[in-house]
Structure 1
Amino acid sequence: MARENPKPADEARVVVIGAGPVGCVLALELARHGVPSTVVDRLPQASRHPKMDYVSARSMELLRRLGLGEELRSLGVPANHPFTFLWMDKFADGPLSTWTYDSPAVLAARMAAVNDGSMPREPYLRVIGSRLEEVCRSRCRQHPLIEFLEDRVLTGFTEDAAGVTAELAPASGDGTTEQIRGRFLVGCDGAGSTVRRLLDIGLDDLGPRAMHQDVYFRSTDPALRSHGPFFLAIAARGLTLVSRDGDQTWTGTYPLLSPEDADRDPVEVVRERLGLELKIDEVLTTARWEGRLTVADSYRKGSVFLAGDAAHQFFPTGGHGANTGLGDAIDLGWKLAAALHGWGGPTLLDSYEAERRPTALFNREMCFNLFEVWRRFPVLHAVGADREQLAGFLDQERYQTSNLGIHFGVRYAGSPVLPPADGPAAPWDWARITPAVRPGLRLPSLRLADGAEVFDLLGPGFTLLDSSGSHAGKPLAQEAERLGLPLLRLPVADAAARRLWGRDLVLVRPDQHVAWLGDSSPADCGRLLRLVAGNAN
């Protein structure tokens, strides 16, 4: 596991196709580990269309590691804005059912009051997706390790033993083609991924596909505030109205149920399905997109990988799409960096698919669960269910909004770079974080007696949390240094932390997931470190 000799610049680089949030976060994660990248995108700027707007608390923990949290919160929906779903027949008639969840401000207050590992380090954030993309692109442009190429499309690539050569052409169609070189190439180029097509990787579809129309608009019509502030209003005639900034910008989204729907003025469809003669001040953008539940059959071929929507596509319900993609970017980023720095072995790169594809399959089922409520509500309305029946149906499903367990309960137990866990499996709960310290689980967030947050103390590489009060972790740290594996040994003199962790030593990966735990360094420290670094064979 000794470090390799320095490589030429192009062969120590990662080529990232796509500058959406996933591609940019991947580049920033690589840069955090000192790895250069080239980010290629067809657009000269972030899309004006808002796309996603929910960044889960778990994603915010990961973005905090990259120094993005504070800036994003300054651009997001105010922290006290309620996370409310209004289910209604006609907007003017008021909601049939109201689903509520804690606002970020309320969640932050709970976080301050509770310190048992059951709360996130960061509250969730609602921010317009184009603003998230703008921040990420700006950070990439400013970083000295990131080359940002705009107005380029990928037309092909070739792979050899030393890396990948990508062929690029101007997106505008004017100008000459060019080649760029990298050790690895990652397709973060969305649902219609060129990289996935060139790799000839198929998709595993589940359930229905449906074309949708978005209308992104500005409206100061006071009628929209007649039922108080809200996040989503779901109309029984087949429309979802999203409050984008908590103020004046909105998106109306509806399925195209017939060819006639596709030909109609989308503003008129929004008014009709909302049941409100809505005054729209300005239409900002419109867009069509295909909703589907699909996961790529493979996340990798050779030195080329898929991440984000190139690897999986979900309906917006549940907020799983972009958040699953951000998790992909962090997982893949530190592993590619490890390979390029010479301490990460071949199994570490294999573990990307082994960890992230099952996560996507699980999240797809969770997404489908909520999507079925969205699908059945207008169907029940159309077949004549009365208000009381609709309200009763919806009230049974209100648990769906409280889904911390889904976003925080990711498990990598089957990963080839983790040892088996001792003892019984940790419990899982839909609605809450169940704090447990096991290989493959996220380390519970904890505030130490001196006020320091454990997550803020973790190093960029592996961190060995040592609460032994002696030198129990020293042999493991010494072996990591000998092998060239980046490891910070962090003594922690905190009784509450020791009780939560259950062991004196906890080895934490760069992505905040637990790699190993014990009361003393293992008899063969090298064997453990070779396993977690992907060099066991």
Structure 2
Amino acid sequence: MNQPRSHIRDETRVLVAGAGPVGAILALELARHGVRSLVVDRAVAPPLFPKMDYINARSMELLRRLGLADEVRKGAVPADFDADFMFTPDLSRPPVAVWRQPSPRAQADRFATTVDGTGAAEPYSRITGSLLEDVLRRALRANALVDFEEGVEFTGAEQDADGVTVTLVDHRKEAPDTGQRVRVDYLVGCDGGGSTLRRALGIGLPVSGPSTSRCSVYFRSSDPLLRRYGRAFITTSARGITLVSRDEGELWTASFQIPDGTRFEGDPVAAMSEKLGEKLTVDEVLTVSHWTGTLAVADRYRSGRAFLAGDSAHQFYPFGGHGANTGIADAVNLGWKLAARLGGWGGEALLDSYEAERRPVALFNKEMSSNLLEVWRRFGQLARDGASREQLAGFLHRESYQVDNSGIHFDHRYHQSAVIAAEPGPAPEWDWTGITPSVWPGGRVPALRLSDGSELFDRLGPAFTLVDLSGSGAGAPWAELAIEKGVPMKHLALDAPAVRAVWGADLVLVRPDQHAAWRGDRLPEEGSALLDLVLGRAQEVPA
């Protein structure tokens, strides 16, 4: 569902380096608020290798805001398939454990009957990174506020107090044009783990623990061996290989560790067969790729007018769905804040809050990725050390909570942010396996369906929304004040006792990213000062 844009501007204000999911979503978020951007990417098409394959329900809520959820699902694995994790000594023997994850349809059905705020507006989706990039690239080309240049590479930048001069190389020409220079207000590096911008800014990327060299094989196979013991999204063999079903059909990837600093030069089918413990018949090897598994978070996300987002700012192993999903939330968070600053209604501290809010999330998710990675490592090590099937099953049963991690994806609260109206007293408890149904400043507000069957989230405006559950329209004067001060704010007055019962306040100020900035049962005494606080134009609200 497309939302109305706020503050349309004509000139290009932001250059986004990289058209992967994070860069594309950042540009589309800027466009949602009327800010023109230039997106450049050296590649002229999505990569063949599928990379990511899981968009969690929270990320799907954010994509829904941009009118993209339905398009993503068109390219996704059909919603009726579960996403189970299977652990097996090898494919010659039955699995020792299966972690169950219900299908997107089952999750959606559960959410549809949830009235206590523990549900979401969207279920998760399984889609390969290459197909997601195709969806997003098409959205970029179709958006009048995005100039999308494929085959153009970001190579450097110089910034001053007034803007950034960016250097580009156009690889579309027979002799690449190395002299292109573009002047913009802000630059965002969404240019991956080897980020040119991060290195140019001299921002460190400290690595936690050892990195590993890995080989991944993308292949097509109809061999019944792969489903001998039933369907699974991810199958992990104790012999050191992980299989991922990419489409619940014949497309698969297999990943295994190789000696550090090397490239796999052997027969990929033979290597997979050895690690699976059975001869595998492969119809076609589509591509073989090499990558380095790393856990790292950049020291800083901002330097002057330049920012990092996505893999340029943080890197995780592809366990637990943290990489792209963390990056999608980065893109939305930074996008609306840049739009606010450029639109004249956000202050400089609002831009500072991007790092203050998103870097702690990346640090937390890094440890969660490490936590799950350790389960994989221990499973293989225990099996090699001779642990019995019963011991392996018991170990994995104790760790099965890992797969039901809604709290990680939904309940990060920006409690250290300077643009959140913090409250005294203890915050609501945090639950690994579920969504905490409460409004707390800095946290995502609960998703609920209204009495007419519509989603409350769909009623929120593109910028700030003052959700008024007072029953008397008490919030109207403050919303009018905001408009007078040039702040795009929607006053959403609802006669919804069920929402009021869950949200726990008469008035809730909701940010563009669906996080609460403030709540109360009456208008703030210093309404203008509170607006300045949540927009990064002041340090504190006077007592």
Is the TM-score greater than 0.5?
yes
Query: How many correspondences in the alignment?
Result: 531
Report whether the alignment pairs 1:351 with 2:353: yes
Aligned equivalent of 1:501, options 498, 503, 509 = 503
Q: String of CA shifts for 1:362-382, please: whole Å, max 9, x gaps.
A: 111111110100111111222
CA shift in 2, pair 1:232/1:8, >3 Å: closer
> Which segments of structure 1 move beyond 4 Å, counting only runs of 4 or more?
5-8, 258-261
Tell me how far apart the structure 2 counterparts of residues 431 and 446 of structure 1 sit (CA, whole Å). 19
Residue in 1 aligned with 2:30? 30
- In the alignment, the residues of structure 1 paired with residue 28 and residue 261 of structure 2 have an alpha-carbon distance, to the nearest angstrom, of 43
- Amino acid corresponding to residue 219 of structure 1 in structure 2: S
Measure how far apart 1:264 and its partner are. 2.2
**Deviation, structure 1 residue 478:** 1.6
Question: Counterpart in 2 of 1:244?
Answer: 246
Q: Is 1:174 aligned to residue 175 of structure 2? A: yes
CA contact (8 A) 1:296 1:312 kept: yes
CA-CA distance at 1:183 after TM superposition: 0.4
The 2-side partners of 1:301 and 1:536 are apart by: 21
Q: Does 1:363 align with 2:365?
A: yes
Q: Does 1:70 find its partner at 2:35?
A: no
For 2:131 and 2:530, the matched residues in 1 are separated by 42
Aligned position for 1:105: 105
Larger deviation: 220-229 or 297-306? 220-229
1:389 Cα deviation from its structure 2 partner = 2.0
**Comparing 222-231 with 60-69, which one deviates more in the overlay?**
222-231
Give the Å deviation of 1:203.
1.1
> Are 1:472 and 1:519, in contact at CA under 8 Å, matched by a contact in 2?
no
Q: Residue 295 of structure 2 aligns to a residue in which SS?
A: strand
Task: Tell me by how many angstroms 1:450 deviates.
Answer: 2.1
Aligned counterparts of 1:469 and 1:394: Cα–Cα separation in 2: 50
Q: CA deviation at 1:260?
A: 7.9
Partner Cα distance (1:154, 1:318) in 2: 31
Residue 407 of structure 2 corresponds to 405
CA 452–258 in structure 1, closer or farther in 2 if over 3 Å, else same: closer
Q: Which runs of 5+ in 1 are unaligned?
A: none
Counterpart CA distance in 1 for 2:380 and 2:538 is 54
In the other structure, the counterpart of 1:327 is 329
Task: Give, in angstroms, the shift of residue 386 of structure 1.
Answer: 2.6
CA distance in 2 between counterparts of 1:271 and 1:335 reads: 50
CA 1:166/1:258 → structure 2, altered by over 3 Å: closer, same or farther? Answer: closer
In the alignment, the residues of structure 2 paired with residue 154 and residue 74 of structure 1 have an alpha-carbon distance, to the nearest angstrom, of 32
Match of 1:286, as an amino acid? V
Aligned partners of 1:471, 1:437: CA distance in 2, in Å? 20
- Paired with 1:473 and 1:140, the residues of 2 have a C-alpha distance of 37
Correspondence 1:147 to 2:154: no
Contact 2:39 2:148 in 1 (8 A): yes
Specify the SS of the correspondent of 2:25. helix
Change (3 A) 1:302 1:451: same
Q: What's the % identity of the aligned pairs?
A: 54
> Which residue identity does 2:347 align to in structure 1?
G
Structure 2: state its 5+ residue gaps.
1-6
Selected match of 1:183 from 177, 182, 185? 185
TM-align CA RMSD: 1.5
Q: Distance in 1 between matches of 2:275 and 2:538?
A: 59
What CA distance in whole angstroms lies between the structure 2 residues aligned with 1:515 and 1:238? 46
Letter paired with 2:17: I
Q: Offset at 1:266?
A: 2.2
After TM superposition, give the deviation of residue 521 of structure 1 in Å: 1.1
Counterpart-to-counterpart distance in 2, 1:69 and 1:16:
22
Inter-partner Cα distance in structure 1 for 2:117 and 2:246: 31
Q: Which moved more, 1:205-214 or 1:61-70?
A: 205-214
Residue type at the aligned position of 1:445: A
Tell me if structure 1 keeps the 8 A contact 2:213–2:261: no
Q: Distance in 2 between matches of 1:6 and 1:242?
A: 43
1:516-527 correspondence runs (5 A) = 516-527=518-529
Aligned equivalents of 2:449 and 2:164: distance in 1? 44
Question: How far apart, CA to CA, are the structure 2 residues paired with 1:202 and 1:131?
Answer: 32
> In the alignment, what sits opposite 2:83?
83
The equivalent position to 1:376 in structure 2, one of 375, 378, 384, is 378
Alpha-carbon deviation of 1:422?
A: 4.0
Instruction: State the 1:7 CA deviation.
Output: 8.4
Deviation at 1:534, TM superposition (A): 0.6
CA–CA distance in structure 2, aligned partners of residues 9 and 59 of structure 1: 29
